Structure 1
Amino acid sequence: MTDPEPVRGGATLTVGRGERNVTVEEILRRMRTYWPRLDEDLLRRADRFIEQAHGDQLRLSGYPYISHPRNVALILTELEMDPASVAAGLLHDVLEDTEVTEKDLRKEFGEEITSLVQGVTKLGRIDLATTQEEQMENLRRMLLATAKDLRVVLIKFCDRLHNMRT
């Protein structure tokens, strides 16, 4: 494990941590340190939602799949992101990897969080593209997402960071 690297605003971003069984309580504990009027129910509902949506899915590492979105949410708390962003971090894979629909998500979590999750899903993979055309398409998607809501790109980067750690 490497030492935490400082990030603007006094937050730290740890690198090389790998897979961890993060709990929603750990996420809430971290958020309480920087978001005084935290809607804890929102994050608990998002956590229960991913438990139901992802069920018994496993990652290649053998960890329960829900360890990934929880780790993404924890990284977002290291950046001191707002509750909607952290909830979207928890929910970021439900449209892509489960039977959950945008309508289901909107009904349960409203427009703001649904829009963030949709943006992360549409942004797709931010990987090394093999052709110049693919590189341009990745850049175009990132710019569009940034113009709409920068939080989408930050959530996607946290998703990719956790995948790289594991």
Structure 2
Amino acid sequence: MNKQRLRFLSIGFLLSALILSGFQLFYPMDSPAENADTTANVASDGYKEKYESLLVEVELQKKAAESVAVTSSDTSLAESVPEATASQAVATSESSAGTTVKFVIAQGQPTSVVIDNLVSAGLIADRAVFEQYLTEHNLLYKINYGEYELSRDMGYEVIADIITLE
């Protein structure tokens, strides 16, 4: 290769480098900071699920401990119902129209715990279907705390409307 061709080759490389650096300057690709933000969002979603599952486990352990305490004590069931109602969030009463359940949602209670309590009270049959219904209708985070009179004959839509006040 002669000297002149080598110079043109080096000038070509130089121009290519300048064009690529200019392109990178004006049209930047994903920076590592943007990738870190998306990773943080994915990690926080996993964190929320883990947090709610731990809350469910704690609630179940509390219920198990209370049921053991109630069975081991000599007090009657009628005396222990007011204390158990606040923590278990469910009390059943029979009426002429059918089975009515007094369902209590405590303030700050996660949605997963509310849905688990609905399943354990026998108000809904399938947890996943109810949660999907709430998600599709943007009601998952609109559940209000309070006391509700619910019937086992009600459908998912009616129960969701009542507890979300939508």
TM-score by length of 1: 0.21
Higher strand share: 2
- The structure, 1 or 2, with the larger RCO (C-alpha pairs under 8 Å, 6+ apart) is 1
Instruction: Name which one, 1 or 2, has greater alpha-carbon Rg.
Output: 2
TM-score by length of 2: 0.21
